[in-house]
Structure 1
Amino acid sequence: MKLKKIEAAAIKVRETFPHLLCPICGEQLTEQSLSMICVNSHQFDFAKNGSLHLLTKPIKTKYTKELFEARHTLMSEAEFFKPVINEVITHLKRRDSGVILDAGCGEGTHLAQMIEGLSGLAGIGIDLAKDGIQTAARYYGEPIWITADLANAPVQSGTVDVILNILSPANYREFTRLLKKDGEVVKVVPGAGYLKELRSHYFGDQYKNDDTVSAFYEHFNIEKKIPVHVTQVLDQKAISALVDMTPLSWHAAPEKTASFKSLNQTEMTLDIEILIGRKK
C-alpha cells in the first residue's frame, strides 16, 4: 500500500536525517507519531503534504505563492536552469551517499532535479518562505521540505555533506557549522550577462557579482569554478513566468514589465558561475 505524503516524510526524516533541532530550545527533535518532539515537549507536526514547519513565528516575505508558481513554470516546464543543474549533478556524481541541503530552496525544482539525477544522496530543502516550501511539497515528494530560518538553522552541526546555495542570500558562518569536515558548498552566482535581455529592457545596465564572490572566497577554499553560459529561446508562457518570478521586476516600471510580458518570443541569457568550496 502506498504511503501518504505525511507518513513518507516522517520516515525519511527518521531514517535519513535524524539531526533536526528544536527552534525554541535547541534540543534534538525525534520523530514520534508524525510529529517532531524534543525533550522539553516542544512539538512540530508534519503537514499533510509532508512538509515540516520549524519557525517559531510567522515571517512575511515578498516571495508569494504566485511567484513560486511562476518559478516552477520556468524551471520545471521550460527547464531554463537545467544546464546549471546538469553541471552540478556531474560534479556530485562522485558521491554515492550523503545529504544535500539546499539553503534557500524556493519551490524546490533545483533540488528535486538533482536528487533525481543522483543515486544514494538524500535531499533537504530549507527556505524561510512558507509558500515556497508548500509549493515544493505539492510538486515533489522525494526531498524533505522544511520552513526554517537559515540564519539559525535547526540542524545539528557537522551533519551535512553538501550545501547548495543557488542565487539566494547566504550565511557562510552557518554553512561552515553545518558542513561535515569533508563537506562542500556549491554556490551558484549570476554572471554579468545573467538575464541581460530582461535587465537591459528594465534598467539598461548589467549585473556585477564582485561582492558576492569575494564574500565566498573569505570563508571557503575554492576547489573548482564551473562557468555556464547559454542563450535560450523563451516562448510567451516562459517569458511571463520569468517576469513574475524574478525580483528584478519589483524594481522595474510597470509599463516595462507589461511590455516584456507581451513578447511572443525572446532570447534569454543564462550566465552563471558555479563555485565549489570547502571549509578553510
Structure 2
Amino acid sequence: MTGSRAVPAALAEAIDLLRCPRCGGAFSLTAATVRCDRGHAFDLARQGYVNLTGAAQPPHADSPAMVAARAELLDSGRYAVLSDALAAASPPAARDVVDVGTGTGHYAAAVLDVRPEARALGLDISVAACRRAARRHPRLAVATADAWGALPVVDDGVDVVLSVFSPRNAVEFARVLRPDGCVITVTPGAHHLAELRGTFGLLGVQEDKEQRLIEVFRAAGLTTADQQLVEQVDPWTADDAVRSILMGPNAFHTRVDQVRAAAAALAWPRPVTLSCVITRWSR
C-alpha cells in the first residue's frame, strides 16, 4: 500500500467484482487509486468510494438535499417493513450482491445485516449518495456509475442484483448475474403514497408499469420467480410527508417552501399507505 490514505476495507474486498468501464479490464487497488491492467486509473474519494464515471454527474442525479431527506425518512423506520421483507427475499446462500441505484445504502445494508457472509457493491450516479452510502456498512463497497449504462461489474459475477425504486437495466442485470443468481426489484404498488399523491399533486404510478417491466426483463432472458406485495398504513407526520416528497423525482418538479407550506396547512398525523411490489427474477 502506498500513500497515507487508508484503503476502504469494503472496496478492497469487492475489487474483484468491479471491471474497468473503459476497457473491461480487472482492477487492482492502492491507497489512492483503482487501476486496471491497461493503466486506466480512477481516484478514491476521501469518503471511501471510487468515481468510475470520469465525468460530472448529470442533472438528474440526486442532490445532497434529496439524499439527506431520504436518509432521514429511512432512518425514521417508515420503510422498515420493506427493508425487512427485502432482506428476507435475498437468498440465504447469496455471497456477492450488487445494489444498482444504492442511494444511501440503506437496503443493501439491510441485506448484509441478515447475510453475515455476504459482501455488497453499491452503485449510484449521485456523488452525494455515494458519500453517504460509503459510510453505511462495513461490507458495502461503493462506486459512482450510471445505472442506464454499462455497469462496471464483471460478467456472471454476482448472486443478487438489487434494484430498489431505481433504474432497471435488465440487459446489464442479466450480464452480471451468475447462472443461478437472481435479480430483486422493488417497484411502487398501485396505492403507494396515494394519500400524498392526491393531496400534493405528486407524480402518479403508471398503470401498465408492471407489464412493461415483465416484457423488458423477458427480452433480457429473465423471468419472474416469485412476487410479493408489501403494504402498510401508518400515521405519518408532516416531516415524514415533506421528506418523502423531497427525496425522489418529485423534488425536481416542486419547491421546498411550497411543499412545507402545503404540509403545514394540513392536520397531522394522518394515515399514509406504503405499497411496494418485491419481484424476484431468475434466468
TM-score calculated relative to the size of structure 2: 0.87
Deviation at 1:138, TM superposition (A): 3.9
Deviation at 1:17, TM superposition (A): 4.2
Q: Structure 1 vs Structure 2: percent identity of aligned residues?
A: 23
Deviation at 1:234, TM superposition (A): 1.8
Deviation at 1:103, TM superposition (A): 0.6
CA distance in 1, matches of 2:25, 2:95: 23
CA distance in 1, matches of 2:159, 2:80: 22
Corresponding residue for residue 109 of structure 1: 106
Alignment: residue pair count: 271
> Where does 1:194-209 land on structure 2 (aligned, <5 Å)?
194-203=192-201, 207-209=205-207
Deviation at 1:111, TM superposition (A): 1.2
CA distance in 1, matches of 2:21, 2:193: 37
CA distance in 1, matches of 2:243, 2:234: 15
Deviation at 1:116, TM superposition (A): 1.6
CA distance in 1, matches of 2:21, 2:52: 6
With over 3 angstroms needed to count, the CA separation of the structure-2 counterparts of 1:32 and 1:110, relative to structure 1, is same
CA distance in 1, matches of 2:260, 2:254: 10
With over 3 angstroms needed to count, the CA separation of the structure-2 counterparts of 1:246 and 1:266, relative to structure 1, is farther
CA distance in 2, matches of 1:64, 1:175: 25
Deviation at 1:98, TM superposition (A): 1.2
Letter in 2 for 1:120: E
Kindly report the root-mean-square deviation, in angstroms, between the aligned alpha carbons of the 2 structures: 2.3
CA distance in 1, matches of 2:202, 2:242: 20
Deviation at 1:273, TM superposition (A): 0.8
1:192 aligns to what SS in structure 2?
coil
Deviation at 1:181, TM superposition (A): 0.5
Deviation at 1:210, TM superposition (A): 2.0
CA distance in 1, matches of 2:254, 2:71: 22
Corresponding residue for residue 280 of structure 2: 276
With over 3 angstroms needed to count, the CA separation of the structure-2 counterparts of 1:246 and 1:261, relative to structure 1, is farther
Corresponding residue for residue 6 of structure 2: 7
TM-score calculated relative to the size of structure 1: 0.88
> Where does 1:29-108 land on structure 2 (aligned, <5 Å)?
29-62=27-60, 63-76=62-75, 78-92=76-90, 94-95=92-93, 97-108=94-105
Corresponding residue for residue 227 of structure 2: 225
Corresponding residue for residue 209 of structure 2: 211
Q: After superposing the two structures, state which structure 1 stretch, 156-165 or 14-23, moved more.
A: 14-23
Deviation at 1:8, TM superposition (A): 5.2
Which 5+ residue runs of structure 1 have no aligned equivalent? 1-5
Corresponding residue for residue 127 of structure 1: 124
Q: After superposing the two structures, state which structure 1 stretch, 178-187 or 117-126, moved more.
A: 117-126
